[in-house]
Amino acid sequence: MGFDLPVCRPIFEQYVSSYGLADRIAFQAGSFLDDPLAEADVLIMGHILHGESADDKRRLMAKAYRALPKGGAFVVFEELIDNERTENAFALLMSLNILIETSFNCRAADYQSWMAEAGFRTTSVVPLRILFGFRHQRLD
């Protein structure tokens, strides 16, 4: 299921249809901040948290923790700044843009700390572009 603001429905449905998955993936309109998250074995927040305040990031991580069953997984897909702030130029530039707009930015360690506060026992940072060899891969 995809969960996002109502205005995103047509974009979501067109994208899902382009992969032939319209009969398998549904859309639910809502607000991450205002509405409860659906219970699921896996919750993925892709490019959701980066624009939120530190307090809202914490709140959303806690909501995700409460929506997951024991053994469930929470996946955050973001361009994260490495803890030393020396690698991933794209994330550093994106963070600079966010810093200009919101006056804060975060490192991978910040996300891991907030997840621990929410109750998650183990966290790890996996650079997906290294895992897959490149960014944005269509598997069909």
User: What is the amino acid identity at position 55?
Assistant: D
Q: pLDDT confidence of 135, banded at 50, 70, 90?
A: very low
Would you state the pLDDT for residue 129? Answer: 61
Q: Which of 37, 50, 68, 106 is catalytic?
A: 50
Confidence of residue 50 (pLDDT cuts 50, 70, 90): confident
The single residue listed with the structure tokens 């700044």 is 81
φ, ψ dihedrals at 134, nearest 5°: -165, 170
Fold of 31-79+106-123: Rossmann fold (3.40.50)
* 33 vs 39: which has the higher pLDDT: 33
pTM of full prediction above 0.85: no
CB of 77 within 8 A of CB of 128? yes
Asked if 47 is an active-site residue, the reply is no
Give the whole-angstrom CA distance, residue 14 versus residue 76.
23
pLDDT attached to residue 136: 46
